[in-house]
Every structure is written in C-alpha cells, then in structure tokens.
Amino acid sequence: MNKCNILKCIRRILSVLVILFLFSCKGNRVVTTKELQNHIKYLSSDSLKGRMTGLPGDSLAAEYIKNELASYGMIPLSGDGLQRFKVTKRVIPGKRNSLSINGINYAPDKDFMPLAFSSNSGLESEVVFAGYGFNIHGDSLKWNDYNGMDVKGKWVMILRGDPEIENTKSSFIPFSGDRDKALIAKDMGAAGVLLVSGTAFDPLDTFESLNSGDFSVDIPVLRIKKGVADIILSKSKTTIAALEKKLNKTRKPAGFSTKVTINGNSEIVRETTNTRNVVMILPGEDEQLKNEYIIIGAHFDHLGMGGHGSSSRAVDTTGIHHGADDNASGVAMMLELAEKFARTKGSHKRSIICIAFTGEEEGLLGSKHFTDDPGIDLSKVNAMINLDMVGRLNETNNLQISGVGTATGLKDLIYLKSDTSVIKLTLSDEGYGPSDHSSFYGKNIPVLFYFTGAHLDYHTPADTYDKISYNGMVKISDLIFSVTEELASSTARLQFKEAGPKVETGRVMRRKGVTLGIMPDFAGVVKNGLRADFVTPGKPAALGGMFKGDIITFINGKPVNNIQDYMFRMGQLKHGQTISVEVLRNGKKEVLLIQL
C-alpha cells in the first residue's frame, strides 16, 4: 500500500472516530427546554384538534409519540408498538324508549330515561317498592329490603342513594350505587328496575348524562322523575318524599306492592370507535434484571372541541381544547426522559417501558386496558411512574408527588434524590388518584404520580403551550430521572404495600348542584383549612369576593380542616342559601357572605 492510500485510510478512520466520539458525547444528554417546547407545541396544536380519544387527532398524536420513541432506539413491546382496542364513545337513548301507566304515555328525557347499564328490552308488570334496594348482611350493618317480598318477574322501584347522604364516610357507600342496586334486584328475581331520586338525595331531580363505562345488567332499568313515581304510589296513599323521610328516620326496610301495573321499554345505543395506546420498550442493560421493568407513562388524549359531556369547564364554549399541560406536558417529559435513558449508558439495568395512554379523560380506559392485557408479567414491574400535568411549576416551585407510601423506602428515596431548595415537595402516601397510575396500583404495583397542580386554564381552550413553565419542566425531569435511574438499576426490588383504597370509596358532593365554584386543593398542601387553587369567575365564590389562594377555615361558623370537611359542610347547604365563609388571605382573616 502506498503512502497516499495509507493517508486516505487514516482520514477515514479518524472520520469514523470523530462520529463515534460525537455520538458518545450525546450519551449524557440533558433534557432541554427547546425539545420540550417542540413536543408540546405539536401535540397541543390546532391540527390535532384537542386529541379526543378515537378521533384523527388522537391517531396523529399516537403516531408522533411512537416515531419519537423509535428514533431513540426503543422497540415495540409487541407488534408495531400500538396496542389497539375499541372504546364506547357515546351511550345515547334509542328511539324505542317508552313508559305508560294506566294507559297514559310519559315522555322520554322529560319524565323518564333509560340508564346506560339497562338492557334493550321491555316489561309489563306490577311495580313493587323496595326501599333503597339493599341486601346487606355485614357484621356491623344489616339491611334487607327484599325480605318477605315477591319481586320475581316484576318491576322494582328503588330509591337512589342511602339514608346517610350527608356522611362522606358512611358504611352505606359501597352499597349505594345505582348499577349495584339494579344488579341486586335482578339477583332477587326482578325483571325490571325503576330508580328514583328522593328529595334529600337530589332536590332538583335532574337527569345525568349516560356513563359510557357502564355495562348492561341484562334487565331494563329506567330512571323516573319523582312525579311519575308518585303516580305509581297513588294507590298506596304515599309519596317518594314521605317514603324517603321514613326510611331515613327509622333505618328499617319498608317495601310493599303498589298494586299498579306499568308498561315500560328501554333502548340504549352504544357508539364505539377504535383507538390505541403506544407501548415501546428500551431493553435493560443487565442480563438478569432486563426481565424486570420500570414503566413511565403519560396520557396523550384530551377533550377535543369540548362541548356537552366532554368535562370541559368552559361549558358554553365549543373550541379546540389544546391540553398543553393536560397532558402534552406529561408526554413531552416522558419522551425526553426516554431519550435520556437511551443515550445514558449504565442508567437502566431493568428494561424501561414507555406507555402513552389514550382514553384517560374518559375513565382511565387506556391504562385499564393495558393492565388487563399487558403482554408482560406485571409482577415483574418494579414501579410505575405517571406524569400528568407537570407543566405549571409556579412561583412557589411546589411539586406534588403521590404514591410514596406504596412501597417501603419510596419516600426516603424521593428525599434522597431531591434538592428541596430548588423544588419544594408535597408528598402523599396514597396510591389511588384521578389518573392512570391508579390502574397499576390496583394491580399491586408501586406507583409515583407527579403533578404541578390545578390552574384556571384546566379543561378549557386556554391551556396552551405558551403558558408552560419549560424551565420548571427541566427541573422536574432531572428529579424524575434521578429517582427512576435508581429504581431501574438497584438490585433490590421494591416491596409493594397498600396505601389507601384501591378504588374510589368516598362520596364527592353527594347533594347535587350546591357548589362554591372553586377548585379545591385535593393534595392537602395546606393543613387546618382548604385552599382554593382557583376561583371560577361568575360563580358564587367569585361573586362573594373569594380569591385564588384563599384558605377556607370555616363555613357557617363550622370548621373546615380538609377536603372531606369541606365536602361535608357543602353537603348540608341548599340552593339560594346565603352562607358565611371565613378565609385566611395573606395571613389575615376575612369573612365573606356568599349566596349559593
């Protein structure tokens, strides 16, 4: 080989070495504000139209997330990385709903409506009143509304709720759900159920939207107005209000035959659509531990164009709900963390699975689907990290982390890896919460849920990318990477432990329609009071002079120390009532008069 060829070979080798060196320098990359902004700007853009589950924007978001993860070297957990499934987009009454009493026809939507868990069927039979529809045989609570009653093949009329509607911790709560009562009636032989709200339970007697997550109980179930129920009770010389009052006072079953026959029919139409989770994996670097997993998750769906039934807080506005904080922020952080793990050698002995969930806004549909059909052994998951609304680290630098009690040592690890002079932490032990980590906690998996708090733009079109604290997101990302790296590389496994219930067991504002119009501090940051994280303009609290950050300490002279106290006090109030609310504002006591 001549000298010239030798020099060419050396140049080629040097070029390759330079490229390898540059790539290796990228190995310890950092999360940047620019990349976070690029992700959030696209995901919350007008072109995705709010990313509603099952619509084109949902698909575009999923493809974007999958392609980004693939570009970092992550591979599909299975198939092409998209876990496809169907969701019920809407449950609506069909055209064949009918109700007649003594030959008189009553109007759907006005006098009655089918419930989402009703079957598409009908029945003509006598109506039996069965109180609250309980069949409880507990050690400390016994109540059987069907004792000595013949309900086989008949309509059963049941009061909604229970005798302790004011009590947020009542023993009746597990037995007071509408669907549960309908299922018990079916088990007792009933062929149809009529559910009616008593005056104490719902003074306004309003019909709610049908819940798309309800499954049929295989008998017709109609919700009827109090006036219709009173017509059925006319031969018995009583009313729903009187029966509710009696049952609440005596706490004893009081069922009877109404001796009235009705003819009713129910029809429910379920509209389904296709959607998907994104599930990609970064194989672990240790031969043994790579068969265990850390899951980093964030939901990418949002509210689309808003409107009725979408849970938009801008109830009178139809427009793109951008969802920059909720939850393009969580997805962007997940992507940046995935890339950092992929580029940082020695950061993950365990495999890291990144999951972008759809359907969170409609009831944790995506995370529930994954945990029911995971494609891996869930017992091998060391921890699940959930990122939901992490884009608004504010002037207080307060980061809320839930789930620190779901494994021994998690809380200590958080403090060990955190610089609390940079980020102030509010920790909560509970594993259950209103986001996707709950699906994993229910499967005995330790969870951590990161959240920067509620704000006035939540679930409105105003949640846009320009309001995100990108520097704050970088700080949070550094903390999460440090914690997750330890969980992904420590040879010791976390030991799961229960920290609170695995399902929602408390009541939330059981007496309907009575509200101040605030978003309370659900995390309990403030002790001995309840902070208003924001106050909705035009609602009673705002009209009465309450401001964001006010700490409610008394309602009508009775103490409010936490969210449960607040719910209970509000449950005792009525529409039109003027109440006194004592608040702390900048350390000073203020007393507000607020009309509900």
Q: Among 310-319, 359-368, 395-404, 487-496, which stretch is predicted with the lowest mean pLDDT? A: 310-319
Query: Which of 246, 266, 286 corresponds to the end of one domain?
Result: 266
> Residue 510: is its pLDDT beyond 80?
no
In a domain, residue 420? The reply is: yes
The position carrying tokens 């999923």 is 62
> How many percent of the chain have pLDDT more than 70?
92
Q: What is the pLDDT of residue 519?
A: 79
The position carrying tokens 């330890």 is 486
Among 175, 77, 103, 115, which Cα is nearest to 507's? 175
> Residue 11: is its pLDDT beyond 80?
no
> Residue 304: is its pLDDT beyond 80?
yes
**What are the start-end ranges of the E strands in 102-160?**
104-106, 112-114, 121-129, 135-137, 142-144, 155-159
Query: Which of 266, 294, 327 corresponds to the end of one domain?
Result: 266
> Residue 288: is its pLDDT beyond 50?
yes
For residues 383 and 342, give the distance between their C-alpha atoms in angstroms, rounded to a whole number: 18
For residues 517 and 17, give the distance between their C-alpha atoms in angstroms, rounded to a whole number: 63
Same domain, 211 and 235: yes
In a domain, residue 529? The reply is: yes
Same domain, 407 and 330: yes
Comparing 397 with 241, the larger pLDDT belongs to: 241
For residues 359 and 583, give the distance between their C-alpha atoms in angstroms, rounded to a whole number: 38
In a domain, residue 28? The reply is: no
Q: SS in 3 state form for 37-59?
A: HHHHHHHCCHHHCCCECCCHHHH
Residue 518: which pLDDT band, with cuts at 50, 70 and 90?
Answer: confident
Q: What is the pLDDT of residue 50?
A: 97
Same domain, 251 and 285: no
Q: What is the pLDDT of residue 27?
A: 43
Same domain, 105 and 237: yes
Comparing 503 with 156, the larger pLDDT belongs to: 156
Beta-sheet pairing, 82-93 with 268-282? antiparallel
Q: Among 232-241, 304-313, 424-433, which stretch is predicted with the lowest mean pLDDT? A: 304-313
Q: What is the pLDDT of residue 8?
A: 52
Q: Answer yes or no: are the C-beta atoms of 16 and 49 closer than 8 Å.
A: no
**What are the start-end ranges of the E strands in 130-251?**
135-137, 142-144, 155-159, 192-196, 221-224
Query: Which of 266, 294, 313 corresponds to the end of one domain?
Result: 266
Q: Among 168-172, 296-300, 432-436, which stretch is predicted with the lowest mean pLDDT? A: 168-172
Residue 567: which pLDDT band, with cuts at 50, 70 and 90?
Answer: confident
Q: Which domain holds residue 208?
A: 95-266
CATH number at residue 146: 3.50.30.30
CATH number at residue 317: 3.40.630.10
Same domain, 109 and 217: yes
In a domain, residue 454? The reply is: yes
In a domain, residue 424? The reply is: yes
> Residue 13: is its pLDDT beyond 70?
no
Q: What is the pLDDT of residue 525?
A: 66
Q: What is the pLDDT of residue 14?
A: 44
Same domain, 456 and 523: no
Q: What is the pLDDT of residue 202?
A: 92
Q: How far is CA 424 from the centre of its chain?
A: 25
Q: What is the mean pLDDT of residues 176-190?
A: 93
Q: Which residues contact 254 (CB under 8 A, 6 or more apart)?
A: 131, 243, 246, 247
> How many percent of the chain have pLDDT more than 90?
70
**The amino acid at 128:** V
> Residue 571: is its pLDDT beyond 90?
no
Q: Which residues contact 216 (CB under 8 A, 6 or more apart)?
A: 117, 118, 119, 268
Q: Among 152-166, 212-226, 269-283, which stretch is predicted with the lowest mean pLDDT? A: 212-226
Same domain, 173 and 243: yes
What is the chain's mean pLDDT, rounded? 90
Summarize pLDDT for 96-142 with one digit per residue, the tens: 999 999 999 999 999 999 999 999 999 999 999 999 999 999 888 99
Q: What is the pLDDT of residue 210?
A: 85
Q: What is the mean pLDDT of residues 166-181?
A: 88
Q: Answer yes or no: are the C-beta atoms of 250 and 310 closer than 8 Å.
A: no
Same domain, 262 and 283: no
Same domain, 433 and 287: yes
Q: What is the pLDDT of residue 505?
A: 57
> Residue 321: is its pLDDT beyond 50?
yes
Q: Answer yes or no: are the C-beta atoms of 115 and 137 closer than 8 Å.
A: no
In a domain, residue 17? The reply is: no
Residue 20: which pLDDT band, with cuts at 50, 70 and 90?
Answer: very low
Q: What is the pLDDT of residue 448?
A: 98
Same domain, 81 and 102: no
In a domain, residue 25? The reply is: no
Q: Which residues contact 21 (CB under 8 A, 6 or more apart)?
A: none
Tokens of 365: 């549909």
Summarize pLDDT for 335-364 with one digit per residue, the tens: 999 999 999 999 999 999 999 999 999 889
CATH number at residue 583: 2.30.42.10
> Residue 434: is its pLDDT beyond 60?
yes
Same domain, 77 and 149: no
Same domain, 427 and 356: yes
Tokens of 52: 């509603």
Q: Answer yes or no: are the C-beta atoms of 453 and 378 closer than 8 Å.
A: no
In a domain, residue 11? The reply is: no
> Residue 467: is its pLDDT beyond 80?
yes
Beta-sheet pairing, 381-387 with 447-451? parallel
Residue 230: which pLDDT band, with cuts at 50, 70 and 90?
Answer: very high
For residues 45 and 173, give the distance between their C-alpha atoms in angstroms, rounded to a whole number: 42
Total number of domains constituting the chain? 3
